[in-house]
Amino acid sequence: MHSYPTARVGVAGATGYAGQELVRRLARHPAADLRLAMGSTAAGPRRPSPALARVWSGDLAPLDPDRLAAETDVVFLAVPEEAAATIAPALVTAGRRVFDLSGAFRLRDAAARQRWYPHSPEPPSGVVYGLPELDREAVRTARLVACPGCYPTAALLALRPLAEAGLLRPDGDVVIDAKSGVSGAGRTPSERTHFSECHGNVGAYGVFAHRHGAEIAERLGFGVTFVPHLVPLDRGILETIYARLRPGAGAAAVAAAYQTAYTGAPFVRLTGEALPEIKHVVHTNFCDLGWKVDEPSGRVVIVACLDNLVKGAAGQAVQNFNLAFGLDERAGLD
C-alpha cells in the first residue's frame, strides 16, 4: 500500500457523465480529498445523482469558481468549453492546478482554435496537452492540462508511435473509422441521441466537420480522414484505422514501435493480431491496441478500443493528476 499526502480537490461539472466518473474515482483516490463537487452552471445541479449515493457524502453545489479557487488545490473541469475557457485561466492565476476535460485549450493553432472552439481565448502560459503515455514529462510540471478528446486518445495512441518511428508512408492516406457509444455526446439530450433514433441504428456524422479531426491532425503533424459514427451502446469507442507502411517496413517493425512506446505504460495493452473489442475495456482506464499487417501491399490495419468516459475522459484526467503530483500512475484507477 502507498501512503500519499492529500490534495484538496474540486470537480466542476459533476452532474455530467464524465463528471460523475471523476467523482467516483476521486472519492476513493488515496491522494485526493474531494472537497467540492459542483454542477455546470451557477443555477445549480439539475438533481443529485443516485449513482453517487454512498460513493461521496458531500452535497452537489452550484458552479462557483470563487469557491473552487478558495477551497481547493486542484480542480477538474468537466464543463462545456465556453465555461472552461473563462474558469481555467482564473484558477491558474489563483495558483490552482487545473485538469480540463473540455476542448477549450487542446488546439495550439489559433485559426483552428477559432474555428472549432470560438469561445476559447489564447491559452494561458503553462498549458500542455496531456496524453499521459506520450506527453508524460510535460504533464509533470503543467499548471493547466488540456486532457485529450476521447476519439483523439484512441487515434493518437494507435498512430503516434508508428509516425514517430517513421513507419508510415508520407503519401499514404490515413483513414480513421471511429465508432462511439451515445454517452460520448454528453448528458444533454438531443434528437440524435434519443433512444428511438439511435436504438438499432448506426450512423456516420461530422464528416470533414468534427473538431476531433483537427485535434488528431495537429498532434500527428499530418492530415487524416476521420469519420465518426454513433452506435447504440451506452459507452465505449472502437476505431479501425487504415494506413500504409513505408517500403521495407513490416509487422516486426510495427510491433517493435509499439513495444518501445508502451513498455511500462500501465494502461495500454498490446494485443497484436488478437484484435480488441469494446467489451474488453468498458469501465476501465485501458486502451487496447491490436493490428494486422499485409506485408505484400504494405497495408496496416490498427484497432483501438477504450471507454470514452474513463480513458477517454475522467480516468485520463486522474492519470494526469497522478503524473503531475508524482504518484503511482495507477492510483485511484486500478
Q: By the 8 A CB rule, do 100 and 147 touch?
A: yes
Single out the catalytic residue among 147, 150, 287, 305: 150
Q: By the 8 A CB rule, do 46 and 112 touch?
A: no
Got the DSSP string for 2-68? -----EEEEEE-TTSHHHHHHHHHHTT-TTEEEEEEE-SSTT--SS--GGGTTT--S-EE---HHHH
For residue 154, what are the contacts with CB-CB under 8 A and spacing of at least 6?
Answer: 178, 237, 239, 287, 304, 305, 306, 312
Q: By the 8 A CB rule, do 129 and 148 touch?
A: yes
Helix (H) or strand (E) holding 129, with range, is strand 127-129
For residue 200, what are the contacts with CB-CB under 8 A and spacing of at least 6?
Answer: 232
Beta bridge partners of 128: 145
The C-alpha atoms of residue 24 and residue 43 are separated, in whole angstroms, by 23
Phi, psi (deg, nearest 5) at residue 307: -90, 120
3-state secondary structure of 70: helix
Indicate if 305 belongs to the active site.
no
Please, what's the b/e burial string for 294-310 (b: 16 or more CB within 10 A of its CB; e: otherwise)?
A: eeeebebbbbbbbbbbb
The C-alpha atoms of residue 18 and residue 299 are separated, in whole angstroms, by 36
- Count CB-CB contacts under 10 A for residue 47: 9
Phi, psi (deg, nearest 5) at residue 221: 90, 10
Catalytic residue positions, numbered: 150
